[in-house]
Amino acid sequence: MLVKQTLGRVVKSTNMPDLTKSFSPEQLAKAITAKRTGMKLTLVNVSAALSLSKPTLIKIEKGDTSVKLVNILKVMEYLGLSFSIVSDELTPNSNTTGVSDEEWY
Amino acid sequence: MLVKQTLGRVVKSTNMPDLTKSFSPEQLAKAITAKRTGMKLTLVNVSAALSLSKPTLIKIEKGDTSVKLVNILKVMEYLGLSFSIVSDELTPNSNTTGVSDEEWY
DNA sequence: GTCTAAAGTTAATTATAGTTTACCTATGGC
DNA sequence: GCCATAGGTAAACTATAATTAACTTTAGAC
């Protein structure tokens, strides 16, 4: 997708995926790429900032799941992305007491 | 935490963490353990079902982030847990057109 | 107390993620 | 056309995650 910018220069859209859709590694990869490019950062920028190699960053942005969680989390935190955990089925228990009612899952 | 059950037997609570709190590896670990125990599954059950070794499962349930994403996702899917991706700052763009407005981040 | 089952640890080995360096495309500006 | 920059790939090497097997510990049932 092409988008017109301030000075008439044409660049690719950041193309952020729809984050309301259910999670997939591809969605995560797209969100990371979209955030990074939206912030005008290059792979080398991020690589240097996080001491992570470029090939690893590319694996992450390609949706390769054979990457250590810690490396994905580093990139996400740097870009201002985060996870939230969602438990299927009923009432995940907000757990103010520290105790679960059992069978909530 | 101790909880009284149907027949007066006392067991540990599943102790599901508060999923509305911001993500952390520890929260994920606790959610996985809570879900697994809530479903009355042992580590060996899960290990056998997913062809994943017990030491790896224990690392996951201890919040060790030096684990491959794919292995964490396997466990989560098996237990009925998932991620959603959260982008900080304004209006993550639901992107019905496939095009982002730029500067949404 | 014994017995059992599950959680957790340890050590040795294997598999593979990650790094480094170099190279190869695009693509845009000149 | 050339040049610079960013994305992407490949090969060799290093670091370390994952597996296997055996063992220890814990906790409940009896």
Contact B104 A16 (CB under 8 A): yes
Asked whether A53 and B58 are in contact (CB, 8 A), the reply is: no
* Any strand D atom closer than 7 Å to A65 CB: no
Instruction: Give the residue-averaged pLDDT of A2-18.
Output: 55
Asked whether B69 and A25 are in contact (CB, 8 A), the reply is: yes
- Per-residue pLDDT at A13: 55
Asked whether B87 and B105 are in contact (CB, 8 A), the reply is: yes
CA separation for the pair A81, B86 (Å, rounded): 6
Asked whether A10 and A2 are in contact (CB, 8 A), the reply is: yes
Q: Provide the percentage of residues in chain A whose pLDDT is more than 90.
A: 70
Write out chain B residues lying below 8 Å of A19, CB-based: 84-87, 92, 94
If chain B, 105 residues long, is cut into consecutive pieces of 10 residues, what is the mean pLDDT of each piece?
A: 40 77 97 97 98 98 98 98 90 40 46
- Per-residue pLDDT at B89: 76
Give the amino acid at B24.
S
- Per-residue pLDDT at A68: 98
CA separation for the pair A91, A74 (Å, rounded): 31
CA separation for the pair B65, A73 (Å, rounded): 9
- Per-residue pLDDT at A98: 38
Separation in Å, CA of B90 to nearest CA in chain A: 11
Between A44 and A14, whose confidence is greater?
A44
- Show Cβ contacts of residue B2 under 8 Å, excluding neighbours closer than 6 positions: B10, B11, B12, B13
Structure confidence at residue A12 as a pLDDT band (50, 70, 90): very low
Q: Is A24 left (phi over 0), alpha (psi -120 to 50) or beta?
A: beta
Contact B82 A17 (CB under 8 A): no
- Per-residue pLDDT at A95: 43
Cα–chain center distance at A40:
16
Per-residue pLDDT tens for A38-79?
999 999 999 999 999 999 999 999 999 999 999 999 999 999
Count of H-run helices and E-run strands, chain B: 4, 3
Quickly list H helices, A1-105: 25-38, 43-50, 54-61, 69-79
Q: What is the pTM of this model?
A: 0.83
What domains appear along chain B, each with residue ranges and CATH number? Answer: 22-79 (1.10.260.40)
